[in-house]
Amino acid sequence: MPMRTHPATRITAEEAAAKVHPGQWLDYGFGMGQPDAFDRALAERDDLGGPVFLRAALSMRPRAVLAAADGGRRFVWNNWHFSGVDRRGHDAGEAHYLPLNFGEAPDLYRRFIDPVDLAVVKTCPRDAAGVYNFSGACTYHEALLERARCVIVEVDPRMPRVRGPRNGIHESRVDFVIETDGPGAPELPQGVPTDTDLRIARQVAAHVEDGACLQIGIGGLPNAVCDAILEAGVTDLGIHTEMLVDGLMRLHQAGRVTGARKANGVGKTVFTFAGGSAALNAFIHDNPDLETWPVDETNLPDRIQAHPGVVSINSTAQMDLQGQAASESAGHRHLTGTGGQLQFVRGAYASAGGKSFLCLPSTRTRRDGTVESRIVTALEPGTIVTTPRTDVMFVATEWGVVNLKGRSVPERARALISVAHPDFREPLARQAREARLVPAGFL
C-alpha cells in the first residue's frame, strides 16, 4: 500500500458510511478489530439501491449490517470464521462461510483477493510514533490494509494496546480516521466447565510435561485444560498460540510460563489474537511479557514446528471410527471454521517431541433430550472434515486418551470405541463389523 501524500482526514462514522457505494467490497477485519460506529452508520443507510459485499471474521459483537442484510439485497456478509453471531446469521440465510486455513490469510489477501474498496478496522489511538495499534486483533490486518484502496480506522481509546513488531498501521497509510469514545474491547462469555470437561482436561493435562510449548484452541474445554495443567504443577512452559485465552493468562499469572525453551520469541508469550474476559483484555494491555504477531508467523506449520515440545490442544465436535475430525459443521449447517486447527495439528506433530490433542465429550444431548454418541461409524452427509484421519494424533474424551498415529483402520476403530461412552460401545462395534471396518472376531 503506498504512503498517502495527504494527512488522514477526521470524519464522522456517518461521513465514512456515505463513501460506500453499491457493488463495492468492504472488509471489517477480525474479532475485536471490527468497527462498531461505522457498522451502525452503514446499516442505517437506506439509499444504497443495491448490495454491498463484506468480509470479516469471528464477530465478537452483533453486527448491524448483518441484521440489516435483507436477504442479501442490502448487504452480503462473508466470514472467515463463525462466532455465535455469525452462525445465527448463517442459520437465517444471511451469512456465508469462507473456507480458510487461518495462517494462510495474509497470503490470500496479498495474492488471491482483489484489493478491497474500503477496509475499516478498529484501533487504539495514534501513538507518539504515528502508529494506530491493532490491539488484540493483529491476525491478517497488515496484509488486508496493504492493498485496500481506502483505509479507514475507527479509533477507540478504551481498547487495550498490545505490543508486537507488526501490530499497527502508520498514519501515513491511513485515509480517514473516525474518533469514538468506546465501547472498548468486547468480552467473550466464559462458560463454567462441566464435569465432563474437567474429566477430559485432566486426561490431557497428564500428558503435558515441563517445558512444553502450548497452543490452546477456542472454547470452554481447552480453557479447562489450562486449569488442569495449572493443578498438575507443570512448569517452565512456553506459549505460541493462535488465540490467547483466559486459561493461558492464569498459567502466566501463576508463574508457570517462562518461554525459556522456545526457538523464537524466547521469553515472550506469542499469539495472533485475544478473546476472553475483561480481565484478559486488561492483561494484554501494554504487557511487556506478551507479543502479538501476524497470523502467518503464528500458524504456519513450519513456524510452529520450530519450537521443541509443542502441545496443541483443540476441540472437535464429532469423529468417525477412522479418525476423521469434524470440528466446524454438523451436516450442511456451518458452525465455526477450520481456523488454525489443522495447521497446529501438523505443526505439533513435526515439532521435536510434539503432541496434538483433539478433545470431545463422548456424547451430546439434542434439544428433544435424545443422547447421541459423538464418536460415530460414519459422519452425517454434508459434514466437513476439518482434520483428516492421516493427521490426527491423540484423541481425548472423558473415558480416556488414545493415539491414532501408525494404527490401521481396525485398530483405530477399536481405540476410538474404547473411549466412546459405554452405552454406545457395543452398537459402534456392531456397526464397525457391518461396515467391514474391522475383520470378524476383531471386536
pTM: 0.96
Of 398, 241, 373, nearest to 319 by C-alpha is 373
Per the omega criterion (within 30 degrees of 0), is the bond before 381 cis? no
Residue 158's Cβ-side half-sphere holds a number of Cα atoms within 13 Å equal to 10
Q: Count of domains in the chain? A: 2
Which pLDDT does position 336 carry in this prediction? 97
Question: Are 397 and 271 within one domain?
Answer: yes
Question: Are 225 and 324 within one domain?
Answer: yes
Question: Are 36 and 114 within one domain?
Answer: yes
- Report yes or no on 254 lying in a domain: yes
Question: Are 216 and 116 within one domain?
Answer: no
pLDDT tens per residue, range 356-410: 999 999 999 999 999 999 999 999 999 999 999 999 999 999 999 999 999 999 9
The pLDDT of residue 174 is above 90:
yes
- Report yes or no on 52 lying in a domain: yes
Question: Are 56 and 141 within one domain?
Answer: yes
CA angle centred on 214, ends 208 and 220, rounded to 5° = 90
- Report yes or no on 374 lying in a domain: yes
| Sequence-distant (≥ 6) Cβ neighbours of residue 325 within 8 angstroms | 316, 318, 319, 341, 358, 385, 386, 387, 392
CATH of the domain at 127: 3.40.1080.10
Cα 392 from Cα 403, distance rounded (Å): 8
The pLDDT of residue 220 is above 90:
no
Among 51-60, 167-176, 210-219, which is the least confidently predicted range?
210-219
Burial 204-214 (b: 16+ CB within 10 A, else e): bbeebeebbbb
Cα 161 from Cα 320, distance rounded (Å): 43
Question: Are 175 and 212 within one domain?
Answer: no
Sign, Cα dihedral of 22, 23, 24, 27: positive
β-bridge pairing 213-216 and 176-179: unpaired
CATH of the domain at 257: 3.40.1080.20
Cα 84 from Cα 220, distance rounded (Å): 14
Q: Which one of 179, 203, 236 terminates a domain?
A: 179
Joined together, the cell numbers standing for residue 280 give 484478559
Question: Are 380 and 282 within one domain?
Answer: yes
Range of the domain at 132: 9-179
Question: Are 49 and 143 within one domain?
Answer: yes
- Report yes or no on 443 lying in a domain: no
Which position among 104, 142, 242, 398 bears the catalytic label?
A: 242
Helix axes 422-434, 409-418, angle to 10 degrees: 160
Question: Are 166 and 201 within one domain?
Answer: no
Q: Is 15 annotated in the active site?
A: no
Cα 53 from Cα 79, distance rounded (Å): 11
- Report yes or no on 189 lying in a domain: no
- Report yes or no on 3 lying in a domain: no
Binning pLDDT at 50, 70 and 90, where does residue 1 land? Answer: low
Which pLDDT does position 218 carry in this prediction? 82
